[in-house]
Amino acid sequence: MPNWVNTTIEYAIKEGRGKITKYFIGKLLSKAPVGQDNIWPSEEIRDVLEELQSENMCEGMYIGKKIVGELQLVYLGMGVNKKES
């Protein structure tokens, strides 16, 4: 697991912010690329998720991915409407 993930979570837990920190790390990781096996997220991120097994982190990834997908649809939809006009 990347050292920054462990360090950040350890510090956040000491400050009473463990759950929300894991959530926002998940949102950050939602931007991860696909792996060499063409499966999202990349192998390194999957290893992090497997090691931590954090529901908050998975929720952050889901929301982060969902919002990006919805924004892309809106953007594409706006482009299609402009072309049809």
Q: Where are the domains of the chain?
A: 3-84
pTM of the model: 0.74
Task: Extract the tokens encoding 6.
Answer: 């462990």
Decide: 28 and 2 in contact? Cβ < 8 Å. Answer: no
pLDDT for 71 equals 52
Average pLDDT across the chain, whole number? 83
Determine contact, residues 65/31, Cβ cutoff 8 Å.
no
Give dist(CA 24, CA 12) in Å, integer. Answer: 11
Q: For residue range 34-50, what is the model confidence (pLDDT) as tens digits?
A: 999 999 899 999 999 99
Please, are residues 41 and 32 in contact by the beta-carbon 8 Å criterion? yes
Q: Which pLDDT score, from 0 to 100, does residue 59 have? A: 93
Give the pLDDT mean for 12-35.
Answer: 95
Distance CA 78, CA 5 (A): 37
